[in-house]
Chains A and B, each alone.
Chain A
Amino acid sequence: MADNAHAAAADHAAEGTGLVFHPMDQFKVQPLFGGTDVSWYTPTNAMLWLALTVLAVFLIMVVGTRGRAVIPSRGQSIGELAYGFVHKMIEDVTGKDALVYFPYIMTLFMFILMNNFLGLIPTSFANTAQIAVTAVLAFAVFFAVTIIGFVKHGSHFLGLFWVTSAPLAIRPVLAVIEVISYFVRPVSHSIRLAGNITAGHAVMKVFAAFAGLVALSPLAILGITAMYGLEMLVAFIQAYVFTILTCVYLKDALHPSH
């Protein structure tokens, strides 16, 4: 991998004055302390930004609320806002019986939100743009939902695929479609998040490359600024969407008969 990096750097040097597009370089996982090998325990930039994400969550949710004031300070308000936001989302979308899973959903939301925002810091590393990361998150949700469904309802959970409100003749067809859509869920769930973050960051990088041309640089800066604003929105909305889809899938598991 590091060889690639060196090669890329050489490319940079060689192409020098012209337009250089390396929009995907920012997603490279590299060891923090030199070396070339990325084994499973190597401290990498991915690890660094995951750690910073945990730290950010810790700062907001624990340090911010250390006052435990009845009249909240600003920091405490942020933590309470996040708490109330997810709590209400679960109540509205899934129902009160899903509040057992509140800590896990809150973990997903805070983790993705913080990671998305930290990924927007220039030169940082966006973990949520990595398909490996979002796939783990999405498959964890997928397996959790499936297991909860079978544990709670046994074979009745399969009724999710047998649409009783449809005419009998087309039910098998619908069942096939439902099964396929059920198994596509984790794929779309993970690719949506990774794709959105990747797309935003890549577009900003492309704009940044245009800044190399003097004539285009004001436009490039304008474009980056606009994209950055949009990406702030996307960072929040994707965390929200990931969480709310988790709630929707969980609702299917808890109340399969629609």
Chain B
Amino acid sequence: MTAPTEETHAPDLLYSQAEDDLRAAVRSLLADRSDAPTMLAHVESDTPYDPQLWKALAADIGAAGLLVPEKLGGQGASHREAAVVLEELGRSVTPAPYLTSAVVATETLLALTAQEGPADGLLGELAAGRGVAVLAVPFAAARPGAAQPVGVMADTLEGTVTGVADAAAADVLLVPTTDGLYAVEAGAEGVTVEPLVPLDLTRPLATVTLHGAAGTRLADGASAVAAVRRGLLAGAGLLASEQLGLAEWCLTETVRYTRERHQFNRPVGSFQALKHRMAQLWLEVVSARAAARNAADALATGSPDTPLAVAVAQAYCSGVAVHAAEECVQLHGGIGMTWEHPAHLYLKRAKADSVAYGTAGQHRETIAGIVELPAP
């Protein structure tokens, strides 16, 4: 019997050469197609996504299929590589359904491949970048079954799911129901995707309503719950890498700005009151990198430590991203408060991410259970 606190795997927390190469390709694409003025021009539409960018990322670079085995049409890579893609997407707060489709929906479907059923074909479509699937659960959900309002009557689906991220970009909705997991075409009769006004304009939310909608049953009740749990665990774990990338951008940009901005005949970045805050933030970013890499490596290697590694990464990185974005706004002074400067996009993404797939507090509760530090 292993003690609850014993580390069961030796994580590799560095980046491989292949991961560095992938990062360079993604960063170059995003620098070309997802600069701040372009994003600001599109974020107030219901679909801020850029289909050309998605095709380049998902299909040409092959990022959508990183988690999918080669025999199912994917790249046969792992969560470590997907985490690097998410770092870059976080660095640019690009609106793209990567986390929701290429990670959460894909991982949910990967849990069902043993059945050799319809999930396999869907995975092939996702991996090739030919389709986008989204798991129809609230973006704030930390675990499956928190709310499962969709029922099945006479083989059609009835119910409403609120706060679904990237539903507007989805070709297929993966819907957990009282009767297992269903795949539903987003454009099918009886399916309504109603956009909400999101805090984070770079990741649209929608209410999904199913009224007499037909779907394909992918899994029964028990395996559906397990699959959704696996999807959400991967989502939470890799969200930490998005938060890391976001925090890095905020720190880099704040350092750059405070070196150039002069007040009192000095660069404002020379004042200790400011530079200590940025040094503290650097330390948080360095720490977030270790936590995020640990979670990605645990997911990639199937470590028994994965639930703990993911909960630690989320409990830590959520706060770092929010802190970095808040410091970014404050240390930019007045310009940080304007719509034209992109800092607000990062603040909104960071704050929304801190609720996504469970708050830091919810993840700490999970940790309390795993390492046996129970509440009073």
Say whether A associates with B. no
Q: Which residues of A contact B (CB under 8 A)?
A: none
Q: Which residues of B contact A (CB under 8 A)?
A: none
